[in-house]
Amino acid sequence: MQGTTSPPDAGHPAEPPRAPTEQFTGLADTYARHRPAYPGEALRWLLAEAGVGAGSHAVDAGAGTGLFTRLLSDLGLLVTAVEPNADMRTRLEAALTGRPGVVIRAGTAEDTGLPMGCADLVTTAQAFHWFDKPGFRRECARILRPDGCVAVVWNRRLPDDPVFMELCELYRQHCPAFEAPDRGVNGSEAWYPRFFRESCCARRTFPNDLYQDEDGFVGRALSSSFSLRPGDTGYEAYDADLRALHKKYRQGGRIRIANETLCLVGKV
């Protein structure tokens, strides 16, 4: 589907780009409420491939609001959640502070501040595209034990899903910062041969379809870094079009979006 993006002088004032660590400032609550979780089967496969389990130490880089951190903790791992964005980290702390085996710290994927050789596993869920890849690779090699692994995890919508195709058309029409569907997932593909040792990693996808009520559907759209926010020029029309799209496809009050979870596990 083709679409057009309004130029900056057509109702969308140009703004300086945010630093990667500030992309989600002001979105922490929306992100925590509306981003999808990851299937248990994917977590169990990932840990088996990495050769880790209950009692192992995982570092969750770019932990955000803690969606993936919580799942690792639920499976008995000791988790250090590293998050640079203050808003996201505050939400993470509210959700997980006091949970046994979970430590939350300010830091970046390229500079966690953790001691050398402390981790059995480094994970990053829905965040790899924001990192400086060579810097992240060096930091993983530094903090991992000799046989430790890195896991890169994504939720991605299927590109031929009619709902997602129409949703992307709305993004093109309303959101000047929108570039491409699931840009982070797809744009990272070229990095894996250079990131993982000897260009080798285990890779598997797991079904993870999303079923969203109207507010959940709109909230998921608003949780994207490129999305318009309440108060932005054109937001009311954007919100109305999102709700109309949900109404078009919903059944029993919910809309289905074809989605899968992609996991990659390897050494660096």
Residues in the chain: 268
Q: Name the residue ranges covered by the structural domains of the chain.
A: 20-158+181-211+259-266
For the chain, give the mean pLDDT.
Answer: 91
* pLDDT tens column, 156-215: 999 999 999 999 999 999 999 999 988 899 999 999 999 999 999 999 999 999 999 999
Q: Residue 22, exposed/middle/buried by CB under 10 A (0-12, 13-18, 19+)? A: middle
* pLDDT tens column, 233-268: 999 999 999 999 999 999 999 999 999 999 999 999
Average pLDDT over residues 122-132: 97
Cβ atoms 107, 84 nearer than 8 A: yes
Q: Enumerate residues 6+ apart whose C-beta is below 8 A from 122.
A: 58, 59, 60, 61, 140, 143, 144, 148, 149, 150, 151
The class level of CATH for 20-158+181-211+259-266 reads alpha beta
Strand, coil or helix: 102: strand
Tell me the two tokens of residue 60.
């969750």
Nearest CA to 263 out of 194, 211, 195, 185 is that of: 185
State the pTM of this model.
0.89
